[in-house]
């Protein structure tokens, strides 16, 4: 905002200043250079950065904006990268070239994601295809075949024996053509989408001069490209109109999902529809925009006024920590003195005049008035254009918002197209541009925007608008130079959609490939499957074999020519080379052509076809279709499907992946009293661990909850007939809370309850949507589900947020309307771990409400106060966390008027900064969020997804190890682990308690645990671990937090930690950052040489998804960034079992068998030719007709092997899930190995011997005459004998290796076999076949042919058949046993299931789902006593032996551990029943001694010891060496 110098009497701030932080900024070495003051650049000033200069006025002081600039100079590149955009101002000389045109060249807004154009397709596609080494090899072979030498007078002949080079190129041409067609189809789809997007309509200001771009001079080359494209498009439309096509409505979802987006409920509305939600501001807003005529559209809602976008939680580093102060004496140095926290400050105040923000419109400027907004195409938009965007329209380019239909300057965008999030975000118009409404206003503006260079960070932008403010009263004056900073809050990004806002007017700053969405459109890192990597070596082996075969042929042929006096001298008319050495050289290259089929060129295209079909089957699997989101399992990387069948380790996020990320408010603690009834899945898991009959206990709890729910609803209705309370939406069941809210327990508890609910209703950034009805319905849209759950609970209890006024929030409190002025909102981000709202209450008081993580809030409480309350609340929060609930603390602080006025000035300066704006805001916010009073805590349940425990158990049975990498608390993760079968009673939990910065203690801890497994972490043990794929026994599990993990991932300790984890059944890493997630995946993947899969649903999971061999994204509540970066996208975690155990196993086994059979069939064919060379001096004569060589891989043997890779099944999907142990062959990589490769190669060599020498022995006596007296002993006829037998053997061999013999497979094998008879009969019927003419009737008419073929096939296949029979009878594999049991009918019971669900597993026991858990399995081992097997649920906070870097306060230094009595503290109205609290307290009392023995390693113990922000840090450092909480 443009800020004028402060007046001395200015003591009241302007309301509603909501600032967000760019939470993905990564601090770099040149950050200060990159983020230099834009305004400073405009003035070309050089100022110092010290605080003294700033206070004395030596620094930059521009219209009230205090700027600190770095003294370092900028590089030339940085000078050139920034941009200045001029609006109705002539370009300065330094911005023009010698011709007077703009010097800056900006990207066109036309986007082309397609690889090719009609002109570039052929050369570019061939260029890409010849990156394949096999294609280059076969092109080289064709070139050899076409090589000619002149002999005598103009006579040409082939020197390398290829009789028809044209036919020799057919296989390569077919492969190139098929691949090109596939690429063309894919690219055509992209082209169509590009054209639709580029030609989308937008209202652009025309008939005015945009000085930032010159006339578009279309070059000749662009004209040619455009003409070619138009011609092809017209041809396509012509043929498309002639052909019949299926209507859009008849498409099945699998087809429809490929060519159109799936609209959500919010995207179904169009701009021409009227929303059912009404707004009392709609009339007012229309009046204030001077009656702009437009189509009726939904207007902003009362609950959507002035709400700023919530901060995105990201993985980027931020300077400092959550606590940016070191001791209690810290005060904020400001330009106006020191900001302290006076308790008795003078609160007298007087109203201050409103700030003047300026106006971009020059009222003294005369304009022609011809400009108007006209509908145009996106591709016509240029930098510097004025655009008007209407409701439901997509944003065509990155633009700065000047004005909106909202009088407050707010607009609402949906960023689903950008980051996948469906919740609405708020953007604000520039203060100085809010009067720009019409085209004439745009003409009257005169200003310059100086902007950052294009960058990919979606959450960061720095710019400034600069103009001269003219005074209408004194038109002769030069005017005042003014500037307003532009942040990401003022920017609408391309790809977003305008929602609930009638219109927005803005100016374009980035177009086309320079927009943020295009800069972020990089693809997922390219991944290659393990088989593909190993396949390269097998191809190399074949090249080596080919080389030696050719070398042997060349040497022998050259030697024979050198000997003389042999048959060559009588039957040949001299050699081609003229001398033996050259003859051998030529023979070498002729052999390359002859034996070319040894290198399988068709293997690659066949694998592409197979993988494409497998991806289609995965996509079409209706059992992995998530109906709620209309989302099938979507393969995004088609070339790694076989890797899914070899997964040994799965790394999973928790929130939104194992859980639903649908938050339900369950419990709270207010003024030391717990409220709420719930029976959570984690609680059931903990009771199961204690040997409790959870079936009985669960039924009792659910019955009690149902009764309490009815009572609470009755009490709420009696207290206030809340029209916004819907019985089915109530999640907070606490009848005693209603009693306390009515005041029956005394005024103190009533006041505390009201204060608590008021904090929930005021401290948030939700958007309110009101749906008319009887009763009416109010819904809340928030960035995080947690925040929406908190506000919804306040609504249910009578504290309803009904909307927002221009400068505040409107509440309905038990039927009474009240308005609260929001002065500032300090929003949540991953660094602060808290958010605050500064509210002016109706009575004039200023109150700060703050909510955040327990350790963050506790460190900011008033020193020495509320000790008992803090202790009891901490224990309640720990109890809630043990139940698997997500906890937050609520606190408040009353601020004096003087204190706030001083702080707000610094806040305004920080908000106006361009350099380090986020850092300055964080420092200023940190100063005010101190000396808080604790109100209470909240507990929210994130329920497990359906089928998660069953899926985890099934994957464990398959031998897959699952690690959970989460940012949640340790206690929460442990109890979720028990509820979803990751942890069990029989496991010992290894909880790492490592003091930060102490690698020695970490190594000692590691050695101690390694010794219990009798290992030391040596290199030999690591080598043995790499070979051992057996799952560890369910005896141990590791729980570790991010601080300890940071130490254990260091080079010296990583190997030991890896081996320790290898010995444990489950590993839970808690409080870990995205970078740590990726580091853990990399450690396991590279350290153990295993296949890994990562699965998550949020942006913080992208790093590990991309690091793993296979990345799976869940389309959930946290947006679609994980989906966009993944290899496979699914709707629910439970679909992972089918993806891995069914499709993954099938794909791996099919591809492994296909590749082995491919190499086998090429060996048989090629070596049959090689054996023939023995008897013709290796002169590279052809035993077969040349067409046989061309068609052998293209037609005769391709169908069977390709469809083996597509359709073969050893067992069906239900059996694959019923017997997950079948998957272990993939983990052990037994389906494809070098041993299998060489066995198939040897089998092929053996069969090639039989296929050649059987006909050879038949013809060897040279007495073979037919009935007509003619013989058949020429090589072409012998070749028919050999080729036919070889083709039959190869196809039957493939059939023999196929598990599934259905009618389709038998038909394909039969067609492949009969095809050689068909081709021989047809081809030899024409005289153009030369010497091959009439070969078919001559050969097929002989009985010897049929007998020999039968004998050859039998002898070739007998060894394979015998060995397979012996193996299956005496050494059966697991799958052989299961297949036999299927034949016996032992899996008939699966027929009653549509999709197999493992029976007998424990179902979820969520508090909102009264499903009955299964009974405990009899015969299980009795759990050990606590003193024999202590359980250590760790905490996020530090103790005497652990350290937490996320906190920064001192400790009181006590060793107090007596926290158990706090549970028996007398409570108000103790006679009222609190079943859930008592039930949980009793459960905790059973295990409390083990925790006490663990040296206070609990949240409650830690938080009790946490002192306030004014604790004596020096004392703490003296005792602990450093602050225990930083």
Q: Does residue 1062 have a known ligand-binding role?
A: no
The answer on whether 654 is annotated among ligand-binding residues is yes
Residue by residue, what is the 3-state secondary structure of 678-738?
CCCHHHHHHHHHCCCCHHHHHHHHHHHHHHHHHHHHHHHHHHCCCCCCCHHHCCCCCHHHH
> Do the annotations mark residue 655 as ligand-binding?
yes
Contact 733, 705 (CB under 8 A): yes
Nearest to 671 by CA among 935, 937, 858: 935
Q: What is the DSSP letter of 322?
A: S
**Sign of the CA dihedral 288, 290, 294, 295?**
positive
| Annotated binding residue 779 | no
**Among candidate residues 1272, 1206, 1115, 103, the one with its CA nearest the CA of residue 657:** 1115
State yes or no: 966 annotated in a binding site. Answer: yes
1056 is in an annotated binding site: no
Give me 491's structure tokens. Answer: 């920017």
Residue 389: enclosing H or E segment and its boundaries? strand 386-390
Helix (H, G, I), strand (E, B) or coil at 1055: helix
Nearest residue to 401 (alpha-carbon basis) of 475, 507, 304, 320: 507
Cross-strand partners of 1094: 651, 1111
Could you identify the residue written with the tokens 């330009």? 335
| Residue in this structure with the two tokens 């309350």, named with its chain if needed | 869
Phi-psi region at 1113: left, alpha or beta (left = phi > 0; alpha = psi -120 to 50):
beta
For 1253-1297, what is the HEC assignment?
HHHHHHHCCCCCECCCCCECCCHHHHHHHHHHHHHHHHHHHHHHC
Residue 1097 annotated in ligand binding: yes
851 marked among binding-site residues: yes
Bridge partners for 940 per DSSP = 665, 886
CA angle 1425, 1429, 1431 (to 5 degrees): 105
Collapse the DSSP code of 86 into the 3-class scheme (helix H, G, I; strand E, B; otherwise coil) and give the result. strand
**Per the residue annotation, which of 70, 406, 452, 653 is the catalytic one?**
653
In 720-846, where does DSSP find H-type helix? Answer: 735-741, 747-762, 785-796
- Please give the distance of CA 607 from its chain centroid, rounded to a whole number: 27
d(CA 1497, CA 1440): 9
1388 annotated ligand-binding residue = no
- Kindly tell me the number of DSSP H helices and DSSP E strands found in the chain: 51, 40
CA 808-811-816 angle, 5° bins: 130
Residue from 459, 460, 478 nearest 469 by CA: 478
- Residue 886 known to bind ligand: yes
Report the half-sphere exposure of 427 (CA within 13 A, side-chain side). 35
Q: How far apart are CA 991 and CA 1493, in angstroms?
A: 14
Length of the chain: 1526
967 is in an annotated binding site: yes
Instruction: Compute the distance between CA of residue 463 and CA of residue 452 in angstroms, rounded to an integer.
Output: 6
Which own/partner pairs from 103-108 qualify as long-range (CB within 8 Å, at least 24 positions apart)? 104/212, 106/212, 106/213, 106/382, 106/383, 106/511, 106/514, 107/511, 107/512, 107/513, 107/514, 108/379, 108/382, 108/511, 108/512
Structure tokens at 481: 């130079």
Query: Omega into 775 within 30° of 0, i.e. cis?
Result: yes
Count the Cβ atoms, other than its own, within 10 Å of residue 245.
8
Nearest 5°: phi and psi at 1450?
Answer: -85, 175
642 annotated to bind ligand: no
Is residue 1512 part of an annotated ligand binding site?
no
Catalytic status, residue 931: no
Binding-site residues for Mg(2+): 653, 655, 1097, 1101
Binding-site residues from annotation for ATP: 653-655, 787, 828, 851, 886, 966-968, 1071, 1077, 1100-1101
Which residues are designated catalytic? 653
Annotated binding residues: 653-655, 787, 828, 851, 886, 966-968, 1071, 1077, 1097, 1100-1101
């Amino acid at each position: 905002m443009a800020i004028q110098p402060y007046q001395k009497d200015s003591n009241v701030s302007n309301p509603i200043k909501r600032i967000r932080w760019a939470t993905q900024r990564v601090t770099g070495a040149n950050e200060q250079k990159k983020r230099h003051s834009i305004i400073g650049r405009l003035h070309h000033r050089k100022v110092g950065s010290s605080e003294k200069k700033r206070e004395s006025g030596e620094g930059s002081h521009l219209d009230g904006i205090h700027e600190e600039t770095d003294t370092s100079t900028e590089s030339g590149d940085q000078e050139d990268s920034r941009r200045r955009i001029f609006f109705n101002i002539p370009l300065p000389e330094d911005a023009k070239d010698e011709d007077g045109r703009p010097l800056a060249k900006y990207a066109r807004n036309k986007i082309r994601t397609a690889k090719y154009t009609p002109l570039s397709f052929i050369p570019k596609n061939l260029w890409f295809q010849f990156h394949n080494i096999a294609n280059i090899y076969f092109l080289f072979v064709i070139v050899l075949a076409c090589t000619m030498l002149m002999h005598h007078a103009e006579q040409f002949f082939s020197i390398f024996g290829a009789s028809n080079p044209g036919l020799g190129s057919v296989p390569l041409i077919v492969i190139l053509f098929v691949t090109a067609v596939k690429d063309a189809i894919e690219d055509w789809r992209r082209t169509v989408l590009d054209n639709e997007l580029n030609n989308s309509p937008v209202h652009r200001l025309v008939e005015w001069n945009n000085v930032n771009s010159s006339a578009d001079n279309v070059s000749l080359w662009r004209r040619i490209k455009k003409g070619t494209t138009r011609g092809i498009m017209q041809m396509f439309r012509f043929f498309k109109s002639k052909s019949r096509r299926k209507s859009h409505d008849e498409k099945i979802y699998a087809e429809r999902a490929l060519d159109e987006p799936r609209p959500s409920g919010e995207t179904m509305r169009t701009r021409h529809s009227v929303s059912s939600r009404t707004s009392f501001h709609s009339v007012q807003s229309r009046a204030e925009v001077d009656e702009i005529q437009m189509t009726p559209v939904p207007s902003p809602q009362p609950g959507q006024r002035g709400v700023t976008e919530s901060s995105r939680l990201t993985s980027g580093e931020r300077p400092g920590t959550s606590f940016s102060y070191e001791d209690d004496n810290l005060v904020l140095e400001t330009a106006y003195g020191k900001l302290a926290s006076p308790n008795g400050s003078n609160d007298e105040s007087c109203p201050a005049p409103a700030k003047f923000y300026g106006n971009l419109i020059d009222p003294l400027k005369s304009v022609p008035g011809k400009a108007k907004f006209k509908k145009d195409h996106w591709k016509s938009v240029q930098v510097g254009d004025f655009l008007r965007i209407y409701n439901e329209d997509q944003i065509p380019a990155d633009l700065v918002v000047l004005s909106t239909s909202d009088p407050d300057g707010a607009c609402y965008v949906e960023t689903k197209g950008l980051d996948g999030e469906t919740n609405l975000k708020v953007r604000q118009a520039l203060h100085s541009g809010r009067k720009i409404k019409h085209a004439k206003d745009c003409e009257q503006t005169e200003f310059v925007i100086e902007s950052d260079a294009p960058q990919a960070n979606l959450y960061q932008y720095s710019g400034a608008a600069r103009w001269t403010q003219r005074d209408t009263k004194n038109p002769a004056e030069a005017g005042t130079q003014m500037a307003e900073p532009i942040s990401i809050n003022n920017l609408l990004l391309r790809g977003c959609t305008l929602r609930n806002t009638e219109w927005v007017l803005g100016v374009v700053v980035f177009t086309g490939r320079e927009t943020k969405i295009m800069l972020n459109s990089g693809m997922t890192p390219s991944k290659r499957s393990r088989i593909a990597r190993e396949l390269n070596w097998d191809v190399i082996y074949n090249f080596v074999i080919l080389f030696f075969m050719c070398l042997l042929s060349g040497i022998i042929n050259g030697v024979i020519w050198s000997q003389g006096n042999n048959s060559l001298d009588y039957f040949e008319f001299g050699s081609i080379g003229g001398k033996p050495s050259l003859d051998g050289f030529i023979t070498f290259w002729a052999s390359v052509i002859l034996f070319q089929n040894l290198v399988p060129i068709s293997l690659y295209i066949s694998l592409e076809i197979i993988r494409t079909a497998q991806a289609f089957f995965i996509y079409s699997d209706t059992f992995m279709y998530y109906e709620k989101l209309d989302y099938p399992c979507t393969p995004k990387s088609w070339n790694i499907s076989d890797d899914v069948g070899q997964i040994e380790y799965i790394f999973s996020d928790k929130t939104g992946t194992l859980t639903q990320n649908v938050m339900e408010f369950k419990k709270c603690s207010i003024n030391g009293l717990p409220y709420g009834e719930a029976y959570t899945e984690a609680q059931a898991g903990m009771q199961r661990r204690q040997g409790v009959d959870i079936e009985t206990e669960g039924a009792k709890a659910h019955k009690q909850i149902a009764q309490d729910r009815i009572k609470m609803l009755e009490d709420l209705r009696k207290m206030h007939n809340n029209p916004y309370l819907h019985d089915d939406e109530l999640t907070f069941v606490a009848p005693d809370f209603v009693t306390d809210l009515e005041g029956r327990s005394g005024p103190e508890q009533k006041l505390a309850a009201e204060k608590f609910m008021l904090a929930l209703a005021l401290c948030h950034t939700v958007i309110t949507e009101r749906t008319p009805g009887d009763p009416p319905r109010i819904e809340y849209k928030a960035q995080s589900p947690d925040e929406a759950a908190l506000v919804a609970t306040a609504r249910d209890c009578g504290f309803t947020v009904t909307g927002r006024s221009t400068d505040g929030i409107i509440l309905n409190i038990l039927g009474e309307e009240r308005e609260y002025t929001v002065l500032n909102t300090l929003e949540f981000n991953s660094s602060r771990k808290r958010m605050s709202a500064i509210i002016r209450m109706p009575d004039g008081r200023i109150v700060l409400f703050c909510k955040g993580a327990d350790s963050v809030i506790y460190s900011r409480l008033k020193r020495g106060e509320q000790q008992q309350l803090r202790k009891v609340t901490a224990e309640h929060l720990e109890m809630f966390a043990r139940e698997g609930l997500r906890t937050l603390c609520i606190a408040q602080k009353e601020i004096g008027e003087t204190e706030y006025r001083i702080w707000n000035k610094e806040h305004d300066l920080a908000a106006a900064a361009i350099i380090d704006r986020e850092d300055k805001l964080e420092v200023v916010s940190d100063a005010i969020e101190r000396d808080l009073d604790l109100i209470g805590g909240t507990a929210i349940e994130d329920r497990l997804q359906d089928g998660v425990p069953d899926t985890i158990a099934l994957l464990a049975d398959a031998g897959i190890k699952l690690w959970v990498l989460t940012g949640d608390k340790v206690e929460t993760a442990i109890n979720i682990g028990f509820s979803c079968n990751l942890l069990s009673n029989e496991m010992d939990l290894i909880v790492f308690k490592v003091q930060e910065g102490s690698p020695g203690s970490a190594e000692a801890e590691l050695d101690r645990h390694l010794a219990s497994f009798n290992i030391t972490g040596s290199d030999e043990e690591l080598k043995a671990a790499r070979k051992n794929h057996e799952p560890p026994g369910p005896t141990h599990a590791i729980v570790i937090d991010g601080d300890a993990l940071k130490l254990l991932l260091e080079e010296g300790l990583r190997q030991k930690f890896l081996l320790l984890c290898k010995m444990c059944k489950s590993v839970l890493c808690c409080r870990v950052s995205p970078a740590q997630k990726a580091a853990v995946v990399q450690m396991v993947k590279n350290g153990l040489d295993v296949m890994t899969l990562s699965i998550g649903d949020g942006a913080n999971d992208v790093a590990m998804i991309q690091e793993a061999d296979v990345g799976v994204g869940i389309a959930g509540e946290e947006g679609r960034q994980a989906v966009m970066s993944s290899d496979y996208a699914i709707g629910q975690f439970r679909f992972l079992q089918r993806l891995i155990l069914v499709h993954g196993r099938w794909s791996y086994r099919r591809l492994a068998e296909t590749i082995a059979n491919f190499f086998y069939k090429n060996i048989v064919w090629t070596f049959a030719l090689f054996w023939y060379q023995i008897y013709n001096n290796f002169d590279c004569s052809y035993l077969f007709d040349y067409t046989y060589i061309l068609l052998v891989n293209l037609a005769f043997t391709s169908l069977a092997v390709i469809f083996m890779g597509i359709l073969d099944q050893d067992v069906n999907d239900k059996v694959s899930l019923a017997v997950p142990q079948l998957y272990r062959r993939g983990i052990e990589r037994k389906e494809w190995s070098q041993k299998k490769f060489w066995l198939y190669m040897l089998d092929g060599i053996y069969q090639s011997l039989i296929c050649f020498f059987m006909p050879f022995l038949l013809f060897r006596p040279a007495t073979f005459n037919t009935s007509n007296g003619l013989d058949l002993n020429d090589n072409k006829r012998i070749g028919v004998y050999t080729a036919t037998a070889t083709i039959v053997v190869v196809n039957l061999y493939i059939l023999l290796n196929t598990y599934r013999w259905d009618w389709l497979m038998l038909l394909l094998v039969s067609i492949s076999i009969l095809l050689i008879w068909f081709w021989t009969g047809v081809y030899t019927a024409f005289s153009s076949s030369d010497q091959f003419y009439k070969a078919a009737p001559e050969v097929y008419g002989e009985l010897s042919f049929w007998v020999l073929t039968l004998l050859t096939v039998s002898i070739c296949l007998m060894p394979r058949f015998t060995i397979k029979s012996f193996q299956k009878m005496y050494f059966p594999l697991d799958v052989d046993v299961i297949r036999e049991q299927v034949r016996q009918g032992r899996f008939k019971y699966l027929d009653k299931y549509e999709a197999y669900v493992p029976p007998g597993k424990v179902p979820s026991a969520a508090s909102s789902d009264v499903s009955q858990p299964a009974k405990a399995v009899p015969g299980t081992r009795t759990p050990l006593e606590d003193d024999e097997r202590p359980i250590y649920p760790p905490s996020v906070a530090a103790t005497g032996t652990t350290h937490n870097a996320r906190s920064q306060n001192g400790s009181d230094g006590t060793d107090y551990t007596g926290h158990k009595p706090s549970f028996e503290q007398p409570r108000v109205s103790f006679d009222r029943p609190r079943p859930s609290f008592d039930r949980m307290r009793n459960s905790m009392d059973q295990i409390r001694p083990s925790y006490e023995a663990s040296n206070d390693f609990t949240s409650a113990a830690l938080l009790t010891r946490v002192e306030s922000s004014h604790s004596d840090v020096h004392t703490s450092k003296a005792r602990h060496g450093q602050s225990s909480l930083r």
